[in-house]
């Protein structure tokens, strides 16, 4: 099965103007990991996560993935119990989507109405649900909008591949003209909303302690095997950090760390948890952890950072361990989401330039398969873009 | 021996104005790895490199380091023979230093004359030579200026520790008032000179191939043990790349890779060499490699990239493998070097904010020991800076 077998997308009209008025408006598919909404959703969530070969490769995956998921479920269930009985990620995504679409309708009447559809990777609503809902709403122009600011094949890559598979599963390959917002880690609006979240975090420290605060930008780690394949993630995370630091004019020392490593393989370091231990042992009193690669609260912020690592820090004698707030429904971030989509629609490019760059060590034939039938662009330079899309699709 | 035992620096006058006029002018110590000037310098160079515990930790280092260095020497000697019989790094550093000082004398008469002193880590001129020459020239105000744009404990860290040890060895602990330029990977002048080098590299491709070029920003790799300790290097390399890409408005796909890994330990990937192999096997025809973490031509550009990897690429059917020129004596870069020093002298900070951030996993007591007697700052806000220097020094 070649990529084009699983990705048959409707070819857009060749006239650049054809896209300007889609009767049904614009559907924006907000893709994310998702999280179990209730405690009973925990085990199914883990089963799907450990079955995803695009994020985890295990020997005898069908069997071993199931074994690990089932074994971890009770422990993870307890973690969700401690943060209120489920993940708030759907609630936040919906709040973000509603605010974003309201703003877009004002900013861009030509592409209105704008409707958002949540597509989680490991829990409902799934990509299949999003596609069926879009079809029912009469949408013909769709934007696949990753909610992970920085690219990784483990996150956005897996979600996109799943989206294209869902289109095949639901028989909706020809229903939509697509374009992709595949990364936005250096978008000025995202950067400045992240910068103000960091400033809010710093403000939580007493004035006479603030200069002593070490700012730890913490992102979810990846196995080194993913890094070695050429995944863009660590470079993009560091680029976001650099922009945020510059925007703040940060005078505190800072570093980039990676959290949530599991299992026996080696992950990208330095490890957030280990660094907290080392800093505490060295007598560092004040640390502000900033979740830099996720925009909503979820288990890694509410449980891992706020409970697990905070307890560790306090136990080791670090009284000033705090976390910067997640972006959630921060108005500046809602503006940023709308700006990102608006700029994308105006620019008319089918995806970022970087999307063309499949990992050199990638062995997954479906990865970076650019649908050959992407939305015709309606912006100046649209023919170049279309030509580029065709060139890329032909590769 | 505590850090302060090896780092007794002369306390500067408390008056901020005291530094403005140093009778002997300003000495700028240009710190770098260095490279063997002749084929006979190869083995001594390698012996010193493999003896440096701040860059390589080996079991039975005295014995094993010597064994590895002696064993590698004939092979490395051949590599230097193929690039003209020695490293050009001293020639380039001297050209850079001369041009930089000429510019500084014009820009900043108050701190003139400016004189540069080369301090290589593993070949002469050593830090000891630089310090003795500064003393002989009547210099009292000195700037330790790393020639590595991005921080790593393996490069700038090792050079600084060696500089402080050299001051003790030569009895010149009290001879100079110091400040440190410890990193400048995001300095606009450096970034724009790197951007124009990339553009020159892209111009080497035929117009109809240029859009197909993958730009590989390649930096020297580090063992993962260094990364896991919390070395700032990969984040700083990625930050440089992000700035360069933005400055160019690069429309080509790009990635960050790491080269020159040796020995049995695991290094940070993706590996430049492996990526070239993978891209060639996938049919990528055009690649521009950009040395992003070193500013002069040296063995890793002239031999590893231009000979070894180029032969590999051609053998595997990648006809368009090219390298962007090193900055060497590019006028824009000479301006940048002068600007970096000038801004440093004007700002009056003893070092960057990030310099305070010792790696959380560091076990080397000498690391980041800030000399308690740094140069008094002569700029507005100097008292804050001095207070900060003392706070840091007291930790």
The mean-pLDDT minimum among A11-25, A203-217, B242-256 falls in: A11-25
pTM summary value: 0.90
- pLDDT tens readout for residues B178-234: 999 999 999 999 999 999 999 999 999 999 999 999 999 999 999 999 999 999 999
B275 and A361 within 8 Å at the Cβ level: the answer is yes
The mean-pLDDT minimum among B23-27, B89-93, B317-321 falls in: B23-27
* Whether the predicted pLDDT of B54 surpasses 90: no
Rounded-to-integer distance, Cα B176 and Cα B181, Å:
15
Q: Do residues A193 and A365 make contact, with C-beta atoms less than 8 angstroms apart? A: no
CA neighbor of A212 nearest in space, from A313, A284, A318: A284
Average pLDDT on A223-252 reads 97
Rounded-to-integer distance, Cα B195 and Cα B184, Å:
15
- pLDDT tens readout for residues B357-381: 889 999 888 887 666 556 543 333 3
Interface of A with B (CB under 8 A): 186, 214, 224, 227-230, 232, 234-239, 241-243, 246, 250-257, 266, 268-271, 274-275, 278-279, 282, 353-354, 356-357, 360-361
* Whether the predicted pLDDT of B155 surpasses 80: yes
Copy the structure tokens of residue B248.
């160019």
Average pLDDT on B265-284 reads 95
The mean-pLDDT minimum among A182-191, A253-262, A374-383, B312-321 falls in: A374-383
For residues B110 and A60, the model is more confident at B110
* Whether the predicted pLDDT of B45 surpasses 90: yes
- Residue B215 backbone phi and psi in degrees, to 5: -95, 115
Q: Is-catalytic flag, B187?
A: yes
**Closest CA in chain A for residue B253:** A354
pLDDT value, residue B22: 74
Sheet with B177-181: strands ordered across: B114-120, B26-32, B141-146, B177-181
pLDDT value, residue B375: 52
Average pLDDT on B274-299 reads 96
pLDDT value, residue B363: 85
pLDDT value, residue B57: 81
Average pLDDT on A215-244 reads 97
pLDDT value, residue B24: 86
Residue written as token pair 């985890």: A56
* Whether the predicted pLDDT of A10 surpasses 80: no
Please report the ipTM that was assigned to this predicted complex.
0.89
Copy the structure tokens of residue A261.
């490593």
Collapsing DSSP states into helix, strand and coil, what is residue B99? helix
Which chain B residues contact residue A269 at CB under 8 A?
A: 224, 227-228
Considering only the beta carbons, identify the residue of A236, A241, A361 that sits closest to B270: A361
B239 and A238 within 8 Å at the Cβ level: the answer is yes
CA neighbor of A217 nearest in space, from A304, A292, A329, A276: A292
Sheet with B214-220: strands ordered across: B254-259, B214-220, B286-291, B320-323
Cα angle, residue B78 at apex, residues B72 and B83 outer, rounded to 5°: 125
Output the average pLDDT for chain A.
88
Alpha helices in A53-140 (DSSP H): 61-82, 89-107, 127-136
pLDDT value, residue B365: 81
Rounded-to-integer distance, Cα A243 and Cα B235, Å:
12
Cis peptide before B319 (omega within 30 of 0): no
Which chain B residues contact residue A357 at CB under 8 A?
A: 214, 253-255
Maximal CA-CA distance, chain B:
65
- Residue A363 backbone phi and psi in degrees, to 5: -115, 5
pLDDT value, residue B264: 79
Q: Percentage of residues in chain B with pLDDT exceeding 90?
A: 78
Copy the structure tokens of residue B30.
């240009």
* Whether the predicted pLDDT of B18 surpasses 60: no
- pLDDT tens readout for residues B169-192: 999 988 999 999 999 999 999 999
> DSSP string of B224-270?
HHHHHHT-SHHHHHHHHHHHHHHHHT--S-EEEEEE---SSS-B-SS
Catalytic pick from B231, B297, B339, B351?
Answer: B339
A254 and B279 within 8 Å at the Cβ level: the answer is no
- pLDDT tens readout for residues A124-180: 999 999 999 999 999 999 999 999 999 999 999 999 999 999 999 999 988 999 999
């Amino acid at each position: 099965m070649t990529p084009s077998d699983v990705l048959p997308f409707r070819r857009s009209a060749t006239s650049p103007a054809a896209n300007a008025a889609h009767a049904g408006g614009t559907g924006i598919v907000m893709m994310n990991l998702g999280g179990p909404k209730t405690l009973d959703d925990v085990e199914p969530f883990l089963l799907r996560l450990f079955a995803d070969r695009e994020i985890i490769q295990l020997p005898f995956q069908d069997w071993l993935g199931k074994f690990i998921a089932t074994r971890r479920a009770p422990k993870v269930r307890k973690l969700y119990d401690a943060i209120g009985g489920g993940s708030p990620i759907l609630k936040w995504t919906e709040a973000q989507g509603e605010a974003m679409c309201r703003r877009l309708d004002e900013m861009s009447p030509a592409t209105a109405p704008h409707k958002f559809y949540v597509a989680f990777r490991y829990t409902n609503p799934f990509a299949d649900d999003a596609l069926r809902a879009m079809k029912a709403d009469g949408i013909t122009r769709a934007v696949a909008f990753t909610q992970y600011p920085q690219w990784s094949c483990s996150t956005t890559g897996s979600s996109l591949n799943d989206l294209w598979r869902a289109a095949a599963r639901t028989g909706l390959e020809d229903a939509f003209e697509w374009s992709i917002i595949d990364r936005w880690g250096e978008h000025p609006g995202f950067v400045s909303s992240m910068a103000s979240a960091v400033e809010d975090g710093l403000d939580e420290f007493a004035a006479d302690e603030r200069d002593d605060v070490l700012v730890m930008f913490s992102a979810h780690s990846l196995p080194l095997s993913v890094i070695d394949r050429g995944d863009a993630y660590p470079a993009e995370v560091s680029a976001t950090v650099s922009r945020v630091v510059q925007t703040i004019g940060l005078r505190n020392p800072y570093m980039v760390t990676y959290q949530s490593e599991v299992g026996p393989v080696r992950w990208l370091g330095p490890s957030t948890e280990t660094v907290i231990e080392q800093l505490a042992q060295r007598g560092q009193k004040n640390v502000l952890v900033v979740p830099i690669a996720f925009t909503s609260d979820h288990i890694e912020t509410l449980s891992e950072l706020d409970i697990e690592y905070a307890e560790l820090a306090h136990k080791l004698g670090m009284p000033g361990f705090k976390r910067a707030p997640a972006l959630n429904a921060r108005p500046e971030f809602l503006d940023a989401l709308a700006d990102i989509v608006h700029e994308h629609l105006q620019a008319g490019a089918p995806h970022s330039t970087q999307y063309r760059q499949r990992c050199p060590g990638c062995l997954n034939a479906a990865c970076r398969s650019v649908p050959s039938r992407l939305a015709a662009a309606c912006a100046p330079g649209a023919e170049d873009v279309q030509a580029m899309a065709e060139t890329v699709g032909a590769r």
